[in-house]
């Protein structure tokens, strides 16, 4: 049974969704106004410092717990359909993750559409990873993580790195990854009436803005259609009742069939990106703790 905190948040989010139904699709500015809501869901992580930096022209943020290994880095790619979301909207989530894992995190403000359409976000993610290598961070001491669009972007980045001959990170963590911008998963429609955050028209709008007429099944746009051989270990989390559930399940099945190490956790009764409520909701706290335990072994962290 979902916690009282989860039920309250679900109800609040559902009210916001239903109040917008029947209206025209939101503008880019209206979508970006959701950033403050996303940031507000979690609690402020204690003993974590945030420092804005420039990564080869890309705004970013070092997220530095007071107790951490500085030669291990979590490269984090936020969600938001590549139209909204920011390092600020996901600051608290990344702070809790970094603190729980015991390493620094690089929270990346990759370019968004419509100002910068596909494949700008992939280019920025790849550039940031290579920048970390240039800083002397070993590839086996780097992990990628992201949520929703950012989860799919992690895989797109990995395939871009493969095509360019760079060494791959030690692991990748994806929360409710959006890996099929063609929106072919059965859960897109099956859970549309129960997911308090996502709806097909909204996701189609984000896909159209990001792709700007390019092929939705391009592997760098929709990693579900890429090759899956020789990838880093993957950990995927998804809610039981969200429209991206099938993206996560299909991704896990295809990756396992190709011989990759994959863990998939489906959280009962949870909705899209419940992890943003970390510090204020037990299900979110549990999800972050599971990520921490899984990643510590991949990054060889003992604190």
**How far is it, in rounded angstroms, from Cα 6 to Cα 3?**
5
Dihedral sign, Cα of residue 109, residue 165, residue 301, residue 153 = positive
Using CA atoms, how far residue 55 sits from 108, 149, 155, 156, 218, in Å, is: 9, 21, 20, 19, 27
First to last CA, the chain: 33
Backbone angles phi, psi at 221, to 5 degrees: -95, -45
CB 60 within 8 A of CB 109: yes
Q: Catalytic annotation on 148?
A: yes
Burial per residue of 247-257, b for 16 or more beta-carbon CB atoms within 10 angstroms, e otherwise: bbbbbbebbee
Which DSSP letter does residue 25 get?
Answer: P
Q: Are 299 and 141 in contact (CB under 8 A)?
A: yes
Which residues, 6 or more positions from 190, have their beta carbon under 8 angstroms from its beta carbon? 243
Catalytic pick among 64, 272, 283, 292: 272
The one catalytic residue among 148, 187, 222, 292:
148
Active site (annotated) includes residue 66: no
Q: If we measure between CA atoms, which residue out of 269, 272, 249, 265 comes closest to residue 195?
A: 272
The dihedral formed by the CA atoms of 148, 154, 157 and 161, expressed in degrees to the nearest 10: -170
Active site residue 272: yes
Whether the bond between 114 and the residue before it is cis, its omega within 30 degrees of 0, is: yes
Of these residues, 64, 96, 176, 242, which one is catalytic? 242
Q: Regarding beta strands 69-77 and 103-108, do their DSSP bridges make them parallel or antiparallel, or are they unpaired?
A: parallel
Q: What is the set of active-site residues? A: 148, 242, 272
């Amino acid at each position: 049974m979902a916690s009282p905190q989860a039920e309250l948040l679900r109800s609040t989010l559902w009210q916001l969704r239903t109040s917008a139904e029947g209206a025209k699709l939101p503008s880019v500015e209206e979508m970006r106004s959701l950033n403050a809501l996303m940031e507000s869901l979690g609690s402020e992580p204690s003993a974590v410092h945030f420092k804005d930096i420039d990564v080869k022209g890309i705004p970013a943020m070092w997220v530095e717990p007071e107790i951490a290994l500085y030669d291990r880095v979590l490269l984090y790619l936020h969600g938001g359909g590549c139209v909204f979301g920011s390092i600020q909207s996901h600051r608290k989530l990344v702070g809790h993750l970094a603190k729980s894992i015991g390493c620094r995190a690089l929270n990346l403000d990759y370019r968004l559409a419509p100002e910068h359409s596909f494949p700008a976000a992939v280019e920025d993610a790849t550039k940031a990873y290579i920048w970390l290598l240039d800083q002397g961070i070993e590839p086996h001491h780097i992990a990628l993580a992201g949520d929703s669009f950012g989860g799919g972007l992690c895989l797109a980045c990995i395939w871009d790195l493969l095509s360019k001959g760079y060494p791959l990170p030690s692991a990748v963590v994806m929360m409710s990854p959006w890996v099929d911008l063609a929106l072919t998963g059965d859960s897109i429609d099956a859970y549309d009436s129960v997911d308090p955050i996502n709806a097909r028209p909204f996701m189609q709008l984000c896909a159209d803005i990001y792709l700007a007429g390019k092929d939705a099944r391009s592997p760098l746009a929709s990693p579900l259609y890429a090759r899956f051989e020789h990838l880093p270990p993957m950990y995927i989390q998804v809610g039981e009742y969200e429209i991206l559930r099938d993206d996560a399940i299909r991704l896990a099945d295809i990756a396992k069939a190709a011989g990759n190490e994959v863990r998939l956790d489906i959280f009962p009764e949870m909705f899209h990106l419940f992890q943003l409520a970390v510090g204020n909701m037990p299900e979110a706290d549990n999800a972050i703790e599971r990520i921490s335990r899984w990643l510590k072994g991949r990054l060889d962290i003992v604190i």
